[in-house]
Amino acid sequence: MNYTHINLYDYFYGLVKQIPEGYITTYGELAKALGDIRAARAVGYMLSINEDPDGIPCYKVVHTDRRMGKYALGVEEKARRLRKDGIIISNGMVENFNERFFSDFKTDYPLAKLQEEQEKIASMADFAGDRDEENYAAIDVSYEGRTGYGALVYYDSGEYMVKNLEMKVNFPYIPGYLGYRESPFIEKLSVNVDALLLIDANGLLHPRKCGLATFAGVVLGRATIGVAKSLLMGKIDDTGYVVYNNEKLGYAINKHTIVSPGNMISLESSIKKIKLLGKNKYPAILKMVHNETVAMRKRRLPS
DNA sequence: GCGACAG
DNA sequence: ATCTTGTCGC
């Protein structure tokens, strides 16, 4: 199945260029123009790694509470550039904020559209049944800026096999949209690997029931289980289930091992599988693949 | 004012 | 995830 492959970095930098001369906006307002306020931190991140500070005027972006915010070339330089545009700065705060606030972005709210797509993908997911594969594989990705270092560790009758993949990413980390960032890695790494896929993320346990494990599972037509290291949403009840809106969407093997079904498997069967892999601990194969991605990144980053 | 916010 | 350019809600 196909899904939207948007370059959110390019789209975002295009929005920043829309801020008119003499105006400022906020991290949050840019996030809303992208289609989701939850992207506010990603806005700051994308500005921070912007390679063209003269072409893309990130100094025009400030905090919602009027604080000036940070700048790669230093806050002094940010203040200098803002003052040159007629923005009044005192004590690190924007004084003429209301008069100079720009929010009229020309946008079609891409993240809002991706949310609709996630709902559609979730409706195609299969959260029922057992799996009888003996073989399983785990996938993870580590990052340095826009470069992702992905790995797959495949277990087959006593043997471990490793695959690696280095790729540029066009989508930042935004809570709730991990599928759009990491699915390309899962797609390429899992080719010709006949195994149940363990994904370092959630599946069903997601605001739109479309965490990375589900997203990639449906898109690739593969069986997946999500194993996250922390809670995205919901509460762990006294029997270990993660409950959200009175629905059991996941299960906490422990505080740092949160299981939820991805695709072609039930929650109960997912729990059984992960418990089999390592008693009540985080599965060793996920630890292995994570270590592998970190090693890849450090190899490429001699420090 | 502090926590929530997959990776 | 890395090593830091956020915002909202309790």
pLDDT the model gives residue A80: 97
Span A79-90, pLDDT tens digits:
999 999 999 999
How far: A145 CA to C2 C1' (Å)? 9
pLDDT the model gives residue A303: 57
Domains and their CATH numbers in chain A: 8-108 (1.10.10.10), 125-299 (3.30.2170.10)
Decide if A58 is catalytic: yes
Which residue is the nearest neighbor of C6, CA to C1'? A41
Question: Residue A65 burial (CB < 10 Å; 0-12/13-18/19+)?
Answer: exposed
**Residue % of chain A over a pLDDT of 90:** 94
User: Which residue, A110, A88, A149, is CA-closest to A32?
Assistant: A110
How far: A246 CA to C10 C1' (Å)? 21
Span A96-146, pLDDT tens digits:
999 999 999 999 999 999 999 999 999 999 999 999 888 999 999 999 999
Secondary structure class of A70 (helix, strand, coil): coil
User: CB of residue A229 closer than 7 A to nucleic acid strand B?
Assistant: yes
Checking each nucleotide's C1' against the CA of A173, the nearest proves to be B7
Chain C positions with any atom < 7 A from a protein CB = 1-8
